[in-house]
């Protein structure tokens, strides 16, 4: 496969120690650049863009996130049977008023539709959370090409923010799910959205009202505790049961600032990896997951690479096989 819209694939982040013992492979020894002859597997696709963060007046630097995630993944132990490919990066080349965000989102959508049509399981490495509209658009393009029926796509977002701000003012990293709701309405498709880890302090009353209007499944950060986790897991399973396909998106600012300091908007409380992982695994094991992305890693503010390591661990868990 040739994703002709991408820059050449840079494999230099895939480096690390090689152990002499048998069966001691690490990711950097196994990941290969995607080609037309690549067998079906997980396809890592970077989205080197933070134009949406700039429009949202956030801390810039997330465009460097894809490379940092690859470097954090490289030394992790390999426990898969099927392959993982590096599909390169969609790069946002705009500047200033002509920041190129919509063009980059369109290129991402085209690349994802191509990967999905070939049978791959894409995992997109962000980049700002404007990645979500590009990811959604690629999945929608793929599904509408395969059926005349309206699919029910469940969007599961682990995030401190709803990202439901009105896109009529300015489209940004804070508007993708409002854009998706509008797109679903235009297509005549149902809008199914679950947002887990929401911070009440970081979302206005207008955003909570918008979420209620759209019948969003909402669980706030303080609600996700060891005691409540089984109940929330059951609620998530019920949400999944109502969907034909799943799109998982993880904004790394859902994690506490101690676990994820390198994000656009660090969380004072957040939801820890220990609580997040069981919910992620329920999505992974559902058999309905078609596409996932991670957003908002900002290496410029990442103390001791904590956020990159958290992102790498989430991808490692997400791609583990039964």
Tokens of 195: 């947002």
Query: Looking at residue 187, what is its pLDDT?
Result: 96
Length of the chain in terms of residues written: 322
Tokens of 5: 């819209």
- Note whether 44 and 87 are within 8 A (CB): yes
- Note whether 158 and 250 are within 8 A (CB): yes
Residue-wise DSSP of 93-122:
--BTTB--HHHHHHHHHHHHHHHHHTT-EE
Query: Looking at residue 8, what is its pLDDT?
Result: 80
Q: How far apart are CA 108 and CA 104, in angstroms?
A: 6
First to last CA, the chain: 27
**Residue 20 in 3-state DSSP?**
coil
- Note whether 302 and 292 are within 8 A (CB): no
Q: How far apart are CA 56 and CA 253, in angstroms?
A: 15
Query: Looking at residue 6, what is its pLDDT?
Result: 67
Rounded to two decimals, the pTM is 0.96
Pairing of strands 153-158, 217-220: unpaired
Closest CA to 298 of 61, 97, 82: 61
Query: Looking at residue 3, what is its pLDDT?
Result: 60
Name, in order, each residue with C-beta under 8 angstroms of 69's C-beta and a sequence gap of 6 or more: 125, 294, 297, 308, 311, 312, 315
Query: Looking at residue 169, what is its pLDDT?
Result: 87
Q: How far apart are CA 293 and CA 252, in angstroms?
A: 10
Query: Looking at residue 93, what is its pLDDT?
Result: 85
- Note whether 293 and 132 are within 8 A (CB): yes
HSE toward the beta carbon, residue 290, CA cutoff 13 A: 27
Query: Looking at residue 96, what is its pLDDT?
Result: 63
Q: How far apart are CA 184 and CA 153, in angstroms?
A: 10
Q: Where are the domains of the chain?
A: 27-318
Computed from CA positions of residues 132, 138, 141, 145, in that sequence, does the dihedral angle turn out positive or negative?
negative
Q: How far apart are CA 244 and CA 105, in angstroms?
A: 24
Tokens of 161: 């923010």
* CATH architecture observed for domain 27-318: 3-Layer(aba) Sandwich (3.40)
pLDDT tens, residue order, the chain (322 aa): 456 556 689 999 999 999 999 999 999 999 999 998 999 999 999 999 999 999 998 899 999 999 999 999 999 999 999 999 999 999 998 766 688 999 999 999 999 999 999 999 999 999 999 999 999 999 999 999 977 789 999 999 999 999 999 999 899 999 999 999 999 999 999 999 999 999 999 999 999 999 999 999 999 999 999 999 999 999 999 999 999 999 999 999 999 999 999 998 998 999 999 999 999 999 999 999 999 999 999 999 999 999 999 999 999 999 998 7
């Amino acid at each position: 496969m040739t994703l002709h819209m991408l820059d050449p694939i840079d494999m230099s982040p895939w480096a690390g120690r090689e152990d002499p013992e048998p069966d001691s492979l690490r990711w950097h020894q196994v990941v290969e650049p995607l080609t037309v002859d690549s067998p079906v597997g997980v396809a890592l696709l970077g989205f080197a863009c933070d134009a949406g963060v700039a429009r949202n007046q956030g801390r810039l630097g997330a465009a460097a996130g894809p490379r940092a995630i690859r470097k954090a993944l490289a030394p992790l132990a390999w426990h898969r049977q099927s392959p993982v490919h590096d599909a390169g990066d969609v790069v946002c080349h705009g500047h200033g008023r002509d920041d190129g965000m919509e063009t980059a989102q369109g290129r991402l959508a085209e690349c994802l539709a191509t990967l999905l049509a070939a049978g791959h399981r894409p995992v997109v490495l962000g980049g700002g959370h404007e990645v979500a509209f590009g990811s959604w658009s690629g999945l929608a393009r793929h599904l509408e090409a395969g059926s005349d029926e309206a699919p029910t796509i469940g969007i599961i977002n682990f995030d401190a923010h709803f990202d439901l701000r009105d896109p009529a003012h300015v489209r940004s990293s804070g508007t993708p799910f409002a854009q998706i709701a509008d797109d679903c309405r235009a297509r005549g498709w149902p809008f199914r959205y679950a947002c887990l880890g929401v911070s009440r302090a970081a979302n206005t009353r207008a955003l909570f009202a918008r979420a209620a209007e759209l019948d969003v499944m909402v669980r706030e950060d303080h609600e996700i505790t060891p005691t409540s986790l089984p109940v929330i897991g059951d609620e998530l399973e019920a949400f999944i049961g109502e969907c034909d396909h799943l799109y998982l998106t993880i904004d790394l600012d859902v994690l506490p600032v101690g676990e994820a300091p390198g994000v656009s908007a660090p969380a004072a409380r957040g939801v820890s990896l220990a609580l997040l992982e069981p919910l992620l695994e329920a999505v992974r094991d559902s058999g309905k997951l078609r596409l996932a992305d991670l957003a908002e890693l900002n290496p410029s503010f990442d103390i001791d690479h904590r956020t990159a390591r958290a992102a790498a661990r989430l991808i490692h868990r997400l791609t583990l096989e039964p």
